[in-house]
Chains A and B, each alone.
Chain A
Amino acid sequence: MKPDTCIKSAVLGAATLFSWQAMAQTQVTIATVNNNDMVVMQELSSKFEEENPDIQLNWVILEENVLRQRLTTDIATGGGQFDILTIGLFETPIWGERDWLVPFENVPADYDLDDVLQSVRDGLSTGGKLYALPFYAESQMTFYRKDLLDAAGETMPDQPTWDDIERIAAAINDPENDVYGICLRGKPGWGENVGQITPVANSYGARWFDMDWEPQLTSPEWKEALGRYVGLLREYGPPGVASNGYNETLALFAGGHCGIWVDATVSAGFLTNPDESKVHDKVGYAHPPVGKYEKGNHYLWSWALAVPTSSKSAEAAQKFIYWATSKEYIKLVAEHSGWASVPPGTRESTYANPNYIEAAPFAQLTFDTIQTADPTDATQEPVPYVGISYVGIPEFQSFGTTVGQEFAAAIAGSKTVEEALQAAQDATRTAMEQAGYIKN
């Protein structure tokens, strides 16, 4: 055993030496999601390191939910492990409010902050201060198979209603050949099925809470919305849908099994990539469907870069963030992988660029949907919260997932829509009482 320990000590020693050397530079540890755009950012970051030899970038890349948990643990305990956080529209205002993030004040003029889309900027601010800069943003759209619709003699209106969707799904539904009329997310999760169903609910006039924080999940509006969603999936949806999250549904559509899909706008990039999609040349795009009302029928989401107050390299961190969300960076990505792959939804200049519009046929639709998504005004009745597909309070992650489990039960057919909504209502009410929103 002795030689083993010798070798290990030597290795440890060498590793320590290496890290000592690295410490001469400013260390910036970046925690980010493992989405494609971020992976590209990591690849191109060597350019940043070339231009700034005194800064060394270290990367921690994790899946969205794991990342969120990791970051929350660190930031709430003051762990100080990270200098740049990749966080979403949901947590930015919450964390900003708790003074866990360094606000972006004195933004350099050449960064052109006004170029950044207003709705996204507003979503990332609270108390008048901007706490993160958006890396990319997305909304929802309707994807459909042009060839299947043509064969059935149907056309998708540019602004479909859920009735249109149902009619078309019925026409193209072909389970014997493994083609299903419509695919939607069913997997439990506040960011999975709940995130898709809530905009539908908004569009039928429903809301999560009234102004006294009483949950409204048993309202007739919710019943109609959930009934629609569940009904569509049970009639024309693929098997296994109750545990299909984003990736499973993407795989289904890309594999040619879905006629219609309503989900994130970034999917367009994957669906048109010949390496990943069997149907890359058959995809059509339309606005997300409307129920009774247009308001709140599609969500706004953004992944943004922020600096925690516990960071020891805040200045260097902010420098990188300015670089990674700048117009120059977007041009860099265009040179590296083509205009269709630039981070979408953040700057007006991107959408004014004819190269981009030409390379990405879905660009204009994405732009429209992002601009018309307003997290502060998404419901028919007034509400005490912000958010279109979520409720902007920290407790939502938990009771939202519990509600998601109930919705999945309805989709699976093990509960009726009424039963699921009642169970969801009870669970939410208990959570709100526990958290002190409802004083009993």
Chain B
Amino acid sequence: MMASNEAIPADVVQSEADSTPDKDAPGVKTAPLLAPSVVLLLAWMIVPLGMTLWFSFQRYNLLSPNISGFAGFNNYAFLLANGALWNAIFNTILLVGGVLIATLVLGLVCAVLLNQEFAGNSVARLFCILPFFVMPTVSALVWKNLLMHPVNGLFAWISKSLNLPVVDWFTDLPLFSIGIIVAWQWIPFATLVLLTSLQSLDREQVEAARMDGARGWSLFTNITLPHLCRSLTIVAMIETIFLLSIFAEILVTTAGGPGNSSTTLPYLIYKIAMLDWNVGIASAGGVVAIILANIVALFLIRTIAHTLERQ
């Protein structure tokens, strides 16, 4: 029973490895099982990453083929000295953090609700996942023009009907509005993973706990949440990776503005890569983004592993 509640932390994994005598049970060599994934991803990483690193040290502007040559650390220097970079990093962390919290909490709520028995449960489940099916650009357009627009949008009409002030979403709260759109897209992902996990919660364990007198909230915190720990971690890690690279929604709604308020690191790189066509600096930006993502991932693992260990 305990096995299902184990988490990923290295020390646990390691103790298993040490204590399981038949780690390489007859006929099961792990290497060939892992090989395809590892080799493919290695190639996928090395070739583009290698090229990006290479370009980041070159002067390479797509529109000016006559500019070439080794740039040393110039690209990085230009990028790091640029105030826009730090602002973009700050906005990125704000956006990712906010959306992560929103999706984990609301995803959990949705998963728990959908796990209950009620009429039309399976259809409701599909409807809840619908937001994830729509292309991000289309989502952003629908939100911006059909829902959030202060003159034409549905929200404006609802506000006016209720005599509430109309919120000018993208002018006054640009990053927050984008956060809402992205959170809406990703809550279904969290819901789906958490719901799948909930379904594997042993009913007998729940019944036993109920017999012992546990109700509602304490049942939730003592049985359900621990079971979901691993899934929550996975959702957090995967979402972080995706959220660190969103820029389509920003492009379509605010184009980074007003001012710099909704410019994130991916959007900044996009501007450099696709508007300036400065492949050299864009590559340097890419390397910075990778470093940032690795730092965030490391931080995330440390925090989550730390909390899980306490159990």
In angstroms, how far is the closest chain A Cβ from the Cβ of B6?
31
Bound: A399/B151 CA distance, A: 30
Does residue B38 face the partner (Cβ distance < 8 Å to A)?
no
Q: Interface size (A, Cβ < 8 Å)?
A: 47
- Let me know if B78 and A434 touch, CB within 8 A: yes
With contacts A239-B168, A405-B263 known, is A98 near B276, CB below 8 A?
A: no
Does residue A408 face the partner (Cβ distance < 8 Å to B)?
yes
- B177 — nearest CB in chain A belongs to which residue? A243
- A430 — nearest CB in chain B belongs to which residue? B82
- Let me know if A242 and B170 touch, CB within 8 A: yes
Does residue A349 face the partner (Cβ distance < 8 Å to B)?
no
- Let me know if B145 and A405 touch, CB within 8 A: no
In angstroms, how far is the closest chain B Cβ from the Cβ of A421?
13
Residues of A within 8 A of B172 (CB): 412
Bound: A400/B307 CA distance, A: 48
- Let me know if A395 and B276 touch, CB within 8 A: yes
Count CB-based A-B contacts (< 8 Å): 117
Main SS at interface, chain A = helix
Residues of A within 8 A of B149 (CB): 240, 248
- Let me know if A405 and B260 touch, CB within 8 A: yes
Residues of B within 8 A of A190 (CB): 275
Does residue B231 face the partner (Cβ distance < 8 Å to A)?
no
In angstroms, how far is the closest chain A Cβ from the Cβ of B278?
8
Residues of B within 8 A of A399 (CB): 276
In angstroms, how far is the closest chain A Cβ from the Cβ of B254?
5
Q: Per a CB cutoff under 8 Å, which of A242, A252, A435 touches B258?
A: A242
Stretch at the interface among A7-15, A37-45, A68-76: A68-76
- Let me know if A405 and B151 touch, CB within 8 A: no
- Let me know if A398 and B62 touch, CB within 8 A: no
- Let me know if A405 and B259 touch, CB within 8 A: yes
- Let me know if A408 and B258 touch, CB within 8 A: yes
In angstroms, how far is the closest chain B Cβ from the Cβ of A259?
13
In angstroms, how far is the closest chain B Cβ from the Cβ of A94?
7
With contacts A76-B277, A240-B149, A243-B253 known, is A401 near B271, CB below 8 A?
A: yes
A residues contacting B by CB (< 8 A) are: 69, 72-73, 76-77, 94, 98, 178, 187-190, 192, 238-243, 248, 251-252, 255, 257, 394-395, 397-399, 401-402, 404-406, 408-409, 411-412, 414-415, 420, 423, 430-431, 434-436
A-B contact list, 8 entries, CB within 8 Å: A72-B62, A72-B277, A240-B149, A242-B170, A242-B171, A243-B254, A243-B258, A414-B259
B residues contacting A by CB (< 8 A) are: 62-65, 67, 78, 82, 144-145, 149-152, 166, 168-172, 174, 253-261, 263, 271-272, 274-278
Given contacts A397-B275, A398-B271, A409-B257, 20 further A-B contacts (CB under 8 A): A76-B65, A76-B277, A77-B62, A187-B254, A188-B256, A190-B275, A239-B151, A243-B144, A243-B170, A243-B258, A255-B152, A257-B151, A395-B276, A401-B275, A405-B258, A405-B259, A409-B261, A412-B257, A414-B259, A431-B276
